[in-house]
């Protein structure tokens, strides 16, 4: 197959900058890379094509400086090994060596480049892929960084107080919907739709090439209605929901808005962190993983399960269950007073949490919350019958005496159920 002319390459690359010298010195290599970028643009997202452009441009520039290769077919394994060492020593934006994630991305892009050229049987393709799996740094599996409830509340309170309405609506959208920054920028002018009695946000094709509908909180619906009314002409002109006299947003502007509001709130935060925060808030409050996956637009449950690792309730409950036993290993038992036999039970009842069990009292201090309140009674495997009715009545009355309305309501239901079963 013959490569396209180098002149064509100048007009199709995402950035054009830096390719002139490559075109001049190694036109065959430039033409092959340009043709490749044209091909992947037919099935990759624009951001992925941009990343490929940057990676290939950097690699080609290094080849011209450090090797004799002037076409892709001449690139050897030895060239790639030298490039790996050079790449590892390059400074990043902070002045430190490039992060492993950046190096992984660059090398993975090159490996796919060579794989496709070989598979497509292009003339300017190497005999074998010079990038092997072992060249690519292992991918870490860190937990997402998110704001705790206090920081999230502080961020949102600060966002609502800023003067710029664009900043307010951007922060509200990110925090309430879990949108990626690029998805927010691409929201169409008519993205808010009414389905039944509720408003939804149509999220466009994004990182994973899938679109979805996200339910809108009533406060956010009102905020978007005000925003649209104030900027309707600009929204129609730019065909973007978030557009004002400054024009539509890009993801860099979104990052600056969030960082600016975060600084005012005294919090270091970026847009994707708000996405992680919403997911963590949802899973901590019992939202099902399938629903979170649909909300965030995850293509596989594997992506959503990352958040389950943050809030593993089984681990938390099991840890709470054994904590008191572990404490007994570390703490000396208190000396019993002389009048313990007559006052011990009274003290136990006074100091313990007001939680009556079937065979005693919970001795957890009243100041500590417990995630296991009536855990057995709310379990799907729990069963009770009419002979336990007197105990259920006592537990309900005990809950009422201590102002535990939820527990009282639960035992009311159980009493009603056993009465119905017995009739």
Query: Residues with catalytic annotation?
Result: 180, 207, 272, 275, 298, 307
Residue 338's alpha-carbon distances to 94, 121, 146, 333, 351, in angstroms, are: 68, 92, 52, 15, 18
**Best CA proximity match to 37, nearest among 8, 68, 75:** 8
Residue with the two structure tokens 């979805």 = 212
- How many Cα atoms are found within 13 Å in the side-chain-facing hemisphere of 178? 21
- Name the β-bridge partners of 198: 195
Q: Which two tokens stand for residue 205?
A: 């094709």
């Amino acid at each position: 197959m013959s490569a396209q002319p180098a002149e064509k390459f100048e007009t199709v690359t995402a950035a054009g900058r830096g390719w002139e010298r490559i075109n001049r010195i190694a036109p065959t290599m430039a033409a092959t890379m340009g043709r490749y970028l044209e091909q992947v643009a037919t099935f990759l997202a624009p951001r992925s094509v941009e990343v490929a452009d940057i990676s290939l441009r950097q690699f080609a520039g290094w080849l011209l400086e450090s090797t004799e290769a002037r076409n892709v077919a001449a690139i050897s394994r030895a060239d790639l090994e030298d490039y790996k060492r050079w790449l590892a020593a390059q400074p990043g934006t902070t002045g430190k060596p490039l992060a492993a994630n950046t190096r992984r991305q660059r090398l993975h892009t090159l490996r796919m480049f060579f794989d496709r050229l070989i598979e497509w049987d292009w003339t300017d393709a190497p005999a074998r892929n010079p990038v092997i799996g072992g060249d690519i740094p292992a991918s870490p599996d860190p937990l997402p960084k998110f704001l705790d409830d206090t920081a999230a509340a502080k961020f949102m309170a600060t966002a609502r107080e800023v003067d710029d309405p664009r900043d307010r609506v951007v922060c509200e959208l990110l925090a309430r919907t879990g949108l990626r920054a690029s998805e927010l920028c691409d929201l169409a002018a008519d993205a808010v739709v009414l389905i039944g009695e509720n408003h939804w946000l149509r999220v466009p094709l994004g990182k994973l090439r899938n679109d979805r509908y996200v339910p809108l909180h009533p406060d956010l619906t009102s905020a978007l209605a005000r925003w649209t009314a104030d900027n309707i002409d600009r929204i129609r002109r730019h065909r973007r929901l978030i557009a004002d006299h400054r024009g539509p947003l890009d993801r860099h502007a979104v990052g600056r808005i969030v960082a600016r509001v975060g600084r005012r709130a005294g919090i270091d935060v970026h847009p994707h962190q708000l996405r992680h925060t919403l997911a963590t808030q949802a899973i901590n409050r019992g939202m099902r993983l399938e629903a979170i996956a649909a909300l965030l637009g995850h293509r596989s449950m594997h992506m959503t399960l990352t958040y389950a690792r943050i809030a593993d309730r089984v681990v938390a409950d099991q840890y709470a269950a054994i904590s008191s036993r572990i404490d007994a290993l570390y703490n000396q038992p208190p000396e019993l007073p002389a009048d313990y036999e007559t006052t011990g039970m009274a003290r136990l009842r006074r100091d313990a949490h007001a939680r009556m069990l079937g065979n005693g009292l919970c001795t957890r201090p009243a100041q500590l919350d417990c995630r296991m309140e009536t855990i057995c009674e709310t379990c799907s495997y729990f069963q009770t019958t009419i002979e336990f009715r007197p105990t259920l009545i006592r537990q309900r009355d005990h809950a009422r005496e201590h102002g535990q309305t939820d527990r009282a309501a639960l035992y009311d239901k159980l009493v009603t159920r056993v009465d119905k079963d017995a009739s």
